[in-house]
Amino acid sequence: MSPTGSPVVLVADKLDPDGVAILEQAGLQVRVNVGLSPEELIVAAADVDGILVRSASKITAEVIAAGKRLKAVGRAGIGVDNIDIPAASRHGVVVMNTPTANAVTTGELALAHLFSLARHIPAANASMHAGRWDKSKYVGAEIHGKVLGVVGLGKIGRVVAERGVGVGMRVYAFDPFLTGDCPVPGAELVNWDRLLAESDFITIHVPRNKDTTGLFDAATLKAMKPGSFLINCARGGIVDEDALMAALADGPLAGAALDVYATEPLPEDSPLRAVDNLVLTPHLGASSEEAQKRVSTEIAQQMADYLLRDEARCALNAPAVAAEEMVLLRPYVSLARRLGLMLAQVADAPLTRIEIEYIGRVATMNTDPLRVAALSGVLAPSLDGPVNAVNAEMLANERGLKVLEGHEPDSRSDFASLLKVHAFEADGTAHMAGGSVFRGEPRLSLFEDFGVDFAPRGHLLMTRHDDAPGVLGQVASWLGEAGVNIGGMHMAPSSDDDHPALALYGISRALTADEERSLTEIPAIRRARSLTL
């Protein structure tokens, strides 16, 4: 937080003024500092809570490490090639993008390239400007009835497929993650080989990753229909540029259009610039006035919602939760984290296994955020850096912490919803804490072997003691002498000598290890542990 208490957001790339206004109206402090060098960006990141970028600024591991307060990085657009997501995850920094804001604009650009290729519009335009009238040279082809192959049927791919159907094309779609009927009416899901062999136009709409880099190599291009056209408005590197130039020179391709490149900006001496039947545009996919405004306003609102309300929409490294769903989940997320915090601080040795039970109505909810919240609570006391929904599971995996879950929606529990977390030390020693939500607030309902009713917040003192007269008074006197106020208390009697009684005190500050040891000098106190939630 800034000295005034409000989060600070660095706008490192050009953002529409409406986006900046959303941040300011939400009460955030905004620093617009565009065009920073890598070294300057590292310095600028040191005292901000959020950074907003487009494609120019590179959010490297060094930038993220320098951001001691950094909680979120937002990309106004789809691609996040310029953000080191593994480094962000390790530091607990959420990375968000706007995957749908420029879908229409990018899809329409792909279709514009399709029409340009079919009718030789760029070449004919250049010819006219050169003073020629080459009417007979640029005989094109109708697209009606032609086969349009769409690779990737995400948001943008569906825009293209829908409009392809609308102009009378036969639309084939390939997407390895889809089965059954095609989600676009009038289009058909086909296999990879058929799409390559039968499509007159192929347009690419997949992300670049290890599976898609070089997807359109020499072998793939050779398998395409003779006289066909290829369009790439997705990501550079998906099409092998050397293989593309060969396929345009020697077949089978009649033409191609690129909006993205392996190296951007495209070098002045790139051989692509000399290929006559290749249409080139300078990464215009999201370059419409409408899209520029949408990506700016959407990412600004997402940043404000995360920094002010912990609502992460379109997060790439955290559980995806809809805003309306988060309203219901938020108190359970808080409960899960506090249960994890209690168990980690009660244990005498590192925990090796966590078992989470979702009982009743909570078992029917999206429990992913509850799992990571419980894990973040378990891990936080033993780690120096931030532990949150972004990095909790990664940190748990690195430490060999096993996690098991069980869902019992039809359980006949006394609670409409009950969340129970069991934690195990390496020697098998087990601890348990459980709770529910009452009037929107987390309540501790179970602890170790006892049924309790306590608000798990702030600083707590847990004692296990002999069930004898005067013990609670001795503890209260000790706390008073130590200058510690008691804000609330719950006591659960023992069932036998092997299970000493339990007391939970809400206290005004955490106790030191020496103070915990001093408390156990009271003869009836078998154990005392200060817990911070």
Whole-number pLDDT of residue 77: 86
Return the DSSP state at 150: E
Spot the catalytic one: 75, 113, 170, 235: 235
Residue 285 lies in a domain: no
Spot the catalytic one: 40, 142, 264, 290: 264
150 and 250 assigned to the same domain? yes
Name every residue whose Cβ is closer than 8 Å to that of residue 509 and which is 6 or more positions away in sequence: 459, 484
Q: pLDDT grade, residue 482 (50/70/90)?
A: very high
Mean pLDDT of 260-266: 94
Whole-number pLDDT of residue 2: 56
Residue 210 lies in a domain: yes
The CATH number assigned to the domain holding 195 equals 3.40.50.720
Spot the catalytic one: 170, 205, 283, 337: 283
Per-position b or e across 283-294, b if 16+ CB within 10 A of its CB: bebbebeebbbb
Total structural domains within the chain: 4
Residue 314 lies in a domain: no
Rounded to whole angstroms, how far apart are CA atoms 417 and 419?
7
Residue range 225-244, pLDDT digits in tens: 999 999 999 999 999 999 99
Q: pLDDT grade, residue 411 (50/70/90)?
A: confident
198 and 250 assigned to the same domain? yes
User: In 227-288, which residue ranges form alpha helices assigned H by DSSP?
Assistant: 241-250
- Closest by Cα among 74, 45, 71, 139 to 307: 71
Whole-number pLDDT of residue 257: 98
Mean pLDDT score across all residues of the chain: 92
- Asked if 264 is an active-site residue, the reply is yes
- Asked if 283 is an active-site residue, the reply is yes
Lowest mean pLDDT among 17-21, 318-322, 369-373, 515-519: 318-322
Lowest mean pLDDT among 26-40, 343-357, 384-398, 480-494: 384-398
Whole-number pLDDT of residue 141: 94
State the pTM of this model: 0.67
pLDDT value at 320 more than 80 = no
Helix/strand/coil (H, E, C) string of 394-425? Answer: HHHHHCCCEEEEEEECCCCCCCCEEEEEEEEE
Q: Cα–Cα distances in Å, from 101 out to 286, 294, 308?
A: 9, 6, 22
**The last residue of a domain, from among 457, 488, 520:** 457
Residues of the chain with pLDDT > 70, as a percent, come to 98
Return the DSSP state at 267: P
Check: CB of residue 357 under 8 Å from CB of residue 425: no
Strand order in the sheet with 351-360: 402-408, 351-360, 417-425, 430-438, 441-447, 450-454
- Tokens for 456, please give them: 């798990």
Question: What range defines the domain where residue 348 resides?
Answer: 319-457
- Asked if 120 is an active-site residue, the reply is no
501-507 and 459-465 strand pairing: antiparallel
Residue 222 burial (10 A CB sphere; 0-12, 13-18, 19+): middle
Residue 217 lies in a domain: yes
Whole-number pLDDT of residue 288: 85
Whole-number pLDDT of residue 182: 94
Residue range 45-103, pLDDT digits in tens: 999 999 999 989 999 999 999 999 999 999 998 878 899 999 999 899 999 999 888 88
272 and 297 assigned to the same domain? no
110 and 257 assigned to the same domain? yes
Name every residue whose Cβ is closer than 8 Å to that of residue 300 and which is 6 or more positions away in sequence: 15, 18, 19, 20, 22, 23, 52, 74
